[in-house]
Amino acid sequence: MAPSQPMMSLLRARRFDWTNLGLRVASGFVLVPTALYATLGHNQHFIPALQGRQEALPYLLMISVGVALLAIEWGGMSAPGAPIRVSAAVTAAALSTVFLGYEGHFILGWLLLPLGALAAALVARGVAERTADAAYGVLYIAPAGLCLVWLRSTHQGVWWTLMLFAATWSADIGAFAVGSVLKGPKLWPRFSPNKTWSGFFGGLLAAMGAAIAMASLPYFQLSLWAAALIGLAVGLATMAGDLWESALKRRFGVKDSGDLIPGHGGLLDRVDGLMFAVVVMAAARLANHLGWGH
């Protein structure tokens, strides 16, 4: 007996997007090893995870290139009339905070943020673009870069950075896989019509599992219950960052932030969740430094 029309419609609705998944996997084979190598640096002894300045140079290079590419995409979206000048202003302001953090001047880096945003706004005003969008570009991109530098510089910072990547990547993959298979009610159809509640909870569980798995390693000094809470918080931040970027793209009237990464769009489309998640992870690391979660 042939399947009924409603059944065929249901099967088509639940069909997994293997083509898009293949592009994501192919991109991951390039992005993941790059991120891991940069995080570990030149250190050949993975277990001790040394964090000297020489080992951090590839990590600094990765963040600097990422910040510059994000600023370029932001200028293209928010200032179509003068994208180069606005992108340059956002890049200079954001990289200034990153380099200060690399030199150990994290407080000065945070203090420089509003000045950098003001400078970008003045540049945008000079080329008749929206000042608020240019300023927000600095406040959107720079904190993530600064937190990434600080997180790795702390005690066992390599492990914390790897846990950040594991939790955010797992949240993204879990949400995509579970949402594609189960589908169901939409999470926020106004701004992101493809995201579902099933994918949301699938992503949270995946992020928690990844964080617990990292904390289970014998060299990582973090309790499992703390790792579970951190994974949940990072998962929530990843989803929030993804939704926020969808709202921004809707505001600027673009489908993707760029076309740099096959299967993902621009770099901002790939790291939107990470930009929120790293701030949450940095807060968790600071709390752990003060005695929580041991």
Candidate from 57-61, 141-145, 204-208 with smallest mean pLDDT: 57-61
The C-alpha atoms of residue 134 and residue 87 are separated, in whole angstroms, by 8
∠ at Cα 38 (120, 112), nearest 5°? Answer: 25
Predicted local confidence at residue 50, as pLDDT: 41
The C-alpha atoms of residue 53 and residue 29 are separated, in whole angstroms, by 27
pLDDT in tens, 257-285: 876 665 567 889 889 999 999 999 999 99
Confidence of residue 139 (pLDDT cuts 50, 70, 90): very high
Predicted local confidence at residue 186, as pLDDT: 87
Q: Is pLDDT above 50 for 33?
A: yes
Nearest to 120 by CA among 78, 151, 176, 65: 78
Contact present, 139 and 133 (Cβ < 8 Å): no
- DSSP annotation string for 208-258: HHHHHHHHTSTT----HHHHHHHHHHHHHHHHHHHHHHHHHHHHHT-S-S-
Residues near 258 by Cβ (< 8 Å), separated by ≥ 6? 72, 73, 76, 265, 266, 267, 268, 269
Confidence of residue 159 (pLDDT cuts 50, 70, 90): very high
Predicted local confidence at residue 19, as pLDDT: 52
Hunting for tokens 């990765």 — which residue is that?
A: 62
Q: Which amino acid is at 271?
A: V
Predicted TM-score of the model (pTM): 0.86
| H or E element that contains 261 | none
- DSSP annotation string for 40-98: HTT---TTT----HHHHHHHHHHHHHHHHHHHHHHHHHH-TTSHHHHHHHHHHHHHHHH
Q: Coil, strand or helix: which one is 186?
A: strand
Q: Which amino acid is at 45?
A: H
Q: Which amino acid is at 26?
A: A
pLDDT in tens, 60-109: 999 999 999 999 999 999 999 999 999 999 999 999 999 999 999 999 99
Cα distances from 3 to residues 158, 181, 221, in angstroms, run 53, 20, 55
Q: Tell me the pLDDT of the chain averaged across its residues.
A: 85
Confidence of residue 48 (pLDDT cuts 50, 70, 90): very low
Contact present, 130 and 59 (Cβ < 8 Å): no
Torsion angle of C-alpha atoms 45, 206, 147, 55, degrees rounded to 10: 10
Mean pLDDT of the region 195-205: 93
Confidence of residue 14 (pLDDT cuts 50, 70, 90): very low
